Amino acid sequence: MGWRVTQEEFMKTQDLFSNLKIRGSWGKTGNQGIAPYSTLGLMTGQQYSYGTGTAYQGYTRGNPLNENLKWETTDQWDVGADLGFLNNRINVTMDYFHKNTTGLLLQQLIADYDGGGTQWVNNGSVLNTGFEFSVGALAVKSKDFAWNTSFNMTFYNNNVESLGGQQLFYSGPPANGVINTWIQVVKPGSPMGSFYLIPWEGVYSEPDAKLGFQPGDNKYVDVNGNGSIGYEDRVVSGSAIPTFVYGWNNDLSYKNWSMNIFIQGSQGNKIFNATYAMAAQATSDVKYPTLAASANYWTSSNPGSEWADPASTTGRSYIESTQYLQDGSYLRFKNISLSYTLPRKAIGFADIRFTVSVQNAITFTKYKGYDPEADSMGNNDASAGVDNGAYPNPHGFTIGLNAKF
């Protein structure tokens, strides 16, 4: 529903707005976005030797069927406004949205005494609220030069409202043999994609008599106060969901030349850099550290180092800690292109357009991995933000020729 206010009689005499429209909407949608066939009751292959040297093939129950499974349901309402100024040379769009999803599709753990594995269930609700706006303008217009620009930004607030009485759902681990327990959770009061990690506070410089650690050992927080460090000390430690995202597009033209510059960015999201962790320390399946920075480890003559003493007999090293949780914020020049048009009158038979462009040209980020946009877990909201050897976006160069006869 919308109301174009500038068409009303009482707006005829004003000259501030060339367009003013107020609108609102409400809708209900369903989502069935899980992998095909994953809702079926399946068997899992299992080999057993019966005490001999021969392995015999057998089968056990895999993920059991849930006959009551249904789509997620999302109710959303939105209020917004469209504004135009200077005869629509400047246009502004603003929206506030409120999106509540119930019957979440989640994989629930089945206790080992009940057969183990996981099962798809509908459980809980998530609330998304936010504000988004965009500004577009013909910033400059002259005989030979023009500049069109547009900027958009979206602010997010995501919160798990309920899990049907359960305290949390685990998600992960993404790398068996390296990451040995769950590093993400879906938990009421926290955003989706929340990381569940042991807090890491650096390297000990003094002995810790209570926990038994010595100088040079990794320093973790004993969250539950039981006098030891373990997976029971994991806490929610940030989320893969950004505080806001933005984009800025610019089209410039001068006579027969034209240029496009597109910038995008994200702010406030976290990434668990499993690739960095595996290169930094020897653990589980990884036998030797290969990260150059980790060579600067603690010794009695190098007490201020970031990395713990690898030869310590009292220390512990947990990949499942905040040591490897990094800031995923970035600003990236996503596309830069330059074109030149050779007009028909210059060559007689066609308009010829030459184009050179580069994708992912420059990235500004504190993230220590290859690419802050890379994600090993795909579009899974509950397990996003994990870089376990995710393939980075490549730098691309394109040369084009277009002829219009």
Question: What is the block-wise mean pLDDT of the chain (405 residues), using blocks of 10 residues?
Answer: 95 93 97 82 86 90 85 96 96 97 85 79 93 96 95 96 86 74 93 94 93 95 94 95 97 96 97 91 70 89 90 90 97 97 83 94 95 84 88 93 88
Provide DSSP, 79-109: EEEEEEETTTTEEEEEEEEEEEEES-EEEEE
Q: In this structure, how many other beta carbons lie within 10 angstroms of the beta carbon of residue 37?
A: 7
Q: Closest Cα to residue 273, out of 380, 376, 378, 201?
A: 376
Q: Assign 135 to helix, strand or coil.
A: strand
| β-bridge partners, 263 | 248, 333
Q: Assign 385 to helix, strand or coil.
A: coil
**Cα 299 to Cα 310: distance, rounded to the nearest angstrom:** 10
Residue 285 has a pLDDT of 62
**Cα 265 to Cα 374: distance, rounded to the nearest angstrom:** 14
**Cα 146 to Cα 137: distance, rounded to the nearest angstrom:** 11
Half-sphere exposure of 118 (CA within 13 A, CB side): 14
Tens digit of pLDDT for each residue in 348-369? 788 899 999 999 999 999 999 9
Residue 140 has a pLDDT of 94
Contacts of 196 (CB under 8 A, 6+ apart): 168, 170, 182, 183, 184, 185, 187, 234, 235, 236, 237
**Cα 265 to Cα 5: distance, rounded to the nearest angstrom:** 34
Tens digit of pLDDT for each residue in 152-175? 999 999 999 998 878 888 886 766
Tens digit of pLDDT for each residue in 244-280? 999 999 999 999 999 999 999 999 999 999 999 988 8
Half-sphere exposure of 321 (CA within 13 A, CB side): 22
The whole model's pTM is what? 0.85
Q: Assign 58 to helix, strand or coil.
A: strand
Residue type, 201: E
* Alpha-carbon torsion, ordered 173, 178, 180, 181, to 10 deg: -40
